[in-house]
A and B are shown apart, each in its own frame.
Chain A
């Protein structure tokens, strides 16, 4: 029995790893997407809009299966076409991180876009008047203030992303849902193991929620709140 609990706890470490890696991809894609949508260039705006619209209409699971199974065949066909003898297998970790990063990047795009729009444009003009370039303006003016506006949406996306990592067990990544399924098949006591895994997920989401709330307080220092 305790061996299975250990396996689930090891799976939990992998769950944390895979969710953080996906988050990183999602943040990068979200920033790129938001800047594309705000760039004002027609092509970029259309691309960004297509990205956020299409991704939000397709289930995570279908996209994951597409990238995992389709990606393997696609890569191998590409290698064959280039005349290589080698074959590659996409491993579930990479497929999972890419898929979740790609999906939640679309949600982050909308969150970041809203946050950037919430910053008064005068501040950015002031930064330009000081001779700051685009990168400097982003790093010194936009990014620090964006955090405060983006946090509520970011928190939501992060909690949904954590829960979506359970899906990666379906393409064979041995994270905690996978371990729980193995354990319940072997011991015939699925209720206990799935309940335990659910509790671990609850702990993870609760801890994240508390941490992000503290971050919110930290980044709202000096911001006045109107009272009714």
Chain B
């Protein structure tokens, strides 16, 4: 075992760079995916049947195929389409498809949106009928019931399941290392492995970083739950 190598300045910098990439990928994809998930969940529980089917099919495909293939489809696959090829040199949004970070971010956001949408839709469907009736009795419209009563409580009740999804997403960002020229924590470990031929030290360090990050995220969600779900907690009398 040769742990000293990990603490040489250039290798510390490598891991530092990796942590920044991993965390920015994680939070960016959670933000984009979260907004998409909210829209999808509203459509899944909404009154328009065709849209329900389309979004349902989307989540089914996303949840039934490996994330690695989704990343490959976006990073390698889209470049094959002539329609994109004609645009990605000049026309604005398409120029991003040449950037590895954007491709990974898009794949992760689309993926987490699929999982989170189903979670949120489940919570919306489980809202107790009495709450909705009470809101209707107050004369609230459909939209008002949704935004004033159903969503605030459904979003909170999704929190425990969502914390699992966030930790899973953190681990999924390690797939970014499958895209060449992306330097996340896993890729940093792989580079140290190939430079020094020290697999144990490199990958154990990466594992420790992920473990600490997971525990921090879980801790944050515990705090948030204590705050936002206090009314559901067991009463201490």
Contacts and interface: CB of A to CB of B under 8 A. Distances in A.
Nearest to A166: B66
Interface stretch (B90-98, B139-147, B199-207): B199-207
Contacts of A164: 66
A57 interface: yes
Interface string A74-104: 1000000000000000000000000000000
Residue picked from B167, B199, B204, most chain A C-beta under 10 Å: B199
A62 B186 contact: yes
Main secondary structure of the interface of A (DSSP, over half): helix
B72 A58 contact: no
A81 to B, nearest CB: 14
B64 A69 contact: no
Given A60-B171, A197-B69, A184 B200 contact: no
25 contacts: A57-B210, A57-B211, A57-B214, A59-B170, A60-B171, A62-B189, A62-B210, A65-B199, A66-B203, A72-B199, A73-B199, A165-B66, A166-B66, A167-B66, A167-B68, A167-B175, A170-B68, A170-B178, A177-B69, A191-B73, A194-B73, A198-B65, A198-B66, A198-B73, A205-B64
Interface of B: 61, 63-70, 72-73, 76-81, 167, 170-172, 174-175, 177-178, 186, 189-190, 193, 197, 199-200, 203-204, 206-207, 210-211, 214-215
Interface of A: 54, 56-63, 65-66, 69-70, 72-74, 159, 163-167, 169-170, 177, 180-181, 184, 188-192, 194-195, 197-198, 201-202, 205-206
